[in-house]
Amino acid sequence: MKKKMIAMILAAAVAGTLAGCSNELSNEYVTVTQYKGLEVSQVEDAEVTDEQVEQVIQTNLESTAEKAAVTDRAAEMGDWVNIDFTGYMDGVAFDNGSAQAQDLQLGSGSYIGASGDYAGFEDQIAGHQTGEEFDITVQFPENYTEEMAGKVADFHIVLNEIYTENVPELTDEWVQSNSEDSENVDQYREEVRKQLEEQAEASVQSQLRSLVQEALLENIEVEKYPEDVVNKQIEEMETYYTQMAAMYGVELADFIETYLQTTEDDFNARIKEAAQQTAALDQAVLLIAEKENLEPSDEEYEERVKEYAEQAGMTDVDAYKEQVGEDVLKNAIRIDVVTDYLVEECIQVEESDTAE
């Protein structure tokens, strides 16, 4: 649990921290005892099956389904409905219990299910007509949030619309309207398979990068930490989690206790540890990049910045540079380049061989 949380905090601190060593490298902050040939657990290539291809195609077909309004009958399980609802407990509306214009497929299990003597949220909407306003009563499950678990609540429902979705068949015509690269069904199946294979390979590389980072951490001996870097990392992580808490509508202290399920003291200790690890990794990356001539060229720098900007949803690369900062980008790219090198140099071994 602790390792997972530290990994989560590290991910929040930087876009990715890594490095590696083989012959001993050192500076005033760290000594890297090994970076070439780091042993990591074997990551198996994922095989793309015909079933997976068909599942993706079906999902894509469903995403282009046409709505057909239902006006001559009540809602049935399997129908889609659009609803407004307000939740009450003991006659008082509770936080995060209201929403408007929510699309819901009855029977999907997306909302509160049957519990105790009470039918599920979706079950109680079935049987009502478009335009109806009505009340239902549900019981929150025991594994819900602590303040709501097992409690009974009333919901006032406004049923705005009932509709079904007509999913199209996979035809050459559908492919031509929904794919930029394929003209017929066979080509489209190959297109989807290629996409899945690329995703599978990206997943393998992502796993390897994480494993290499963990292995490198075990081969770094710290003389001292650059305190200014550590303090900056702590500040950035605190800002990150404060913003995340705000997204959940709670204060940081409540977010730490409820969502991270730890104490403030433990949280502070862990982000400090994570910041120290990040600083140590940065130093290791600098040493390896210098030793192995891995500093990115100007051309590679510009290509990677463009990739980062696209991933961030920005088309103006110069604006992205200004927003993120040249130093941050150079460090992130250096980390990526060094990580690529370490992945190429690592040795994958069977899980049983890596166990102590």
Q: What is the pLDDT of residues 265-317, one digit of tens each?
A: 999 999 999 999 999 999 999 999 999 999 888 898 999 999 999 988 998 99
DSSP state letter for 118: B
> Which residue's entry shows tokens 């909407």?
125
Report whether pLDDT(33) > 50: yes
- Give the per-residue pLDDT at 16: 39
Report whether pLDDT(17) > 50: no
**CA pair distance 135, 125, nearest whole angstrom:** 9
**Structure tokens belonging to residue 335:** 């980390």
Considering the chain, tell me which residue range(s) the CATH 1.10.3120 domain(s) occupy: 2-38+219-354
Rounded to the nearest 10°, the torsion over CA 139, 140, 143, 145 is: -150
**Phi and psi at residue 166, to the nearest 5°:** -95, 105
DSSP state letter for 107: T
- Give the per-residue pLDDT at 19: 37
Domain spanning 67-166, CATH class: alpha beta
HSE value, Cβ hemisphere, 13 Å, CA-based, for 141: 9
Digit-coded pLDDT (tens) for 164-175: 999 999 999 999
Q: Is 332 helix (H, G, I), strand (E, B) or coil?
A: helix
Digit-coded pLDDT (tens) for 63-75: 999 999 999 999 9
**CA pair distance 19, 42, nearest whole angstrom:** 19
Averaged pLDDT for residues 151-158: 97
pLDDT category at 187 given cuts 50, 70, 90 is very high
Q: If residue 319 lies in a helix (H) or strand (E), which one and from where to where?
A: helix 317-324
- Give the per-residue pLDDT at 83: 98
Report whether pLDDT(27) > 80: yes
Report whether pLDDT(13) > 80: no
Considering the chain, tell me which residue range(s) the CATH 3.10.50.40 domain(s) occupy: 67-166
For residue 145, list its beta bridge partners: none
- Give the per-residue pLDDT at 136: 98
Averaged pLDDT for residues 184-189: 98
Q: What's the full length of the chain, in residues?
A: 356
**Phi and psi at residue 334, to the nearest 5°:** -60, -45
- Give the per-residue pLDDT at 23: 66
CATH 1.20.1420 fits 2-38+219-354, yes or no: no
- Give the per-residue pLDDT at 167: 94
**Phi and psi at residue 149, to the nearest 5°:** -55, 125
**CA pair distance 43, 308, nearest whole angstrom:** 26
- Considering 49-58, 138-147, 213-222, 298-307, the range whose residues carry the highest mean pLDDT is 49-58
How many other C-beta atoms lie within 10 A of the C-beta of residue 163? 18
Burial call 323-343: b when 16+ CB within 10 Å, e when fewer = ebeeeebebbbbbbbbbebbb
- Give the per-residue pLDDT at 239: 93
**Terminal CA-to-CA distance of the chain, rounded, Å?**
20
Burial of 108 from C-beta contacts in 10 A (0-12 / 13-18 / 19+): exposed
Query: Could you tell me how far CA 225 lies from the centroid of its own chain?
Result: 30
Q: Is 311 helix (H, G, I), strand (E, B) or coil?
A: helix
- Report the mean per-residue pLDDT for the chain: 90
Assign residue 325 a region: left if phi > 0, alpha if psi is -120 to 50, beta otherwise? left
Q: Is 86 helix (H, G, I), strand (E, B) or coil?
A: strand
> Which residue's entry shows tokens 């702590």?
234
